[in-house]
Amino acid sequence: MLNSDSKDQVTLGIIGFGAFGRLIAQHLHPYFQLYAFDPAAPAAGRDESLGVTFADIATVAKCRIVVLAMPVNQLEQAIAAISPHLEPGTLVLDVGSVKVIPANIMRRDLPAHVDIIGTHPLFGPQSAREGIKGLKIALCPIRGGRVGRVAAFLRATLGLKVFVTTPEAHDQELATVQGLTHLIAKVLVQMEPLPTRMTTSSFDMIMKAVEMVRYDAPEVFLAIERSNPYSASVREQFFKLSADLNSSLGGSKS
Tell me, what amino acid is at 71? P
| DSSP E strands, the chain | 11-15, 33-37, 45-47, 52-54, 65-68, 91-94, 115-121, 136-143, 161-164
- Does 3 score more than 80 pLDDT? no
Task: Tell me the domain boundaries of the chain.
Answer: 7-166, 173-248
pLDDT tens, 125-158? 989 999 999 999 999 999 999 999 999 999 999 9
What is the rounded distance in angstroms from the CA atom of residue 242 to the CA atom of residue 218? Answer: 25
Residues ≥6 apart with Cβ < 8 Å to 81: 57, 61
- Give the pLDDT confidence of 6-42 residue by residue, as tens digits: 446 699 999 999 999 999 999 999 999 999 999 988 8
User: Given pLDDT bands bounded at 50, 70 and 90, which one contains residue 43?
Assistant: confident
Q: Does domain 7-166 have CATH number 3.40.50.720?
A: yes
Question: Would you say residue 174 has pLDDT above 70?
Answer: yes
| 239/85 Cα distance (integer angstroms) | 47
Name the percent of the chain lying above pLDDT 70.
96
Q: What is the pLDDT of residue 238?
A: 98
Q: Chain-wide mean pLDDT for the chain?
A: 94
Identify any residues that bridge with 66 across adjacent strands, giving them in sequence order.
Answer: 13, 92
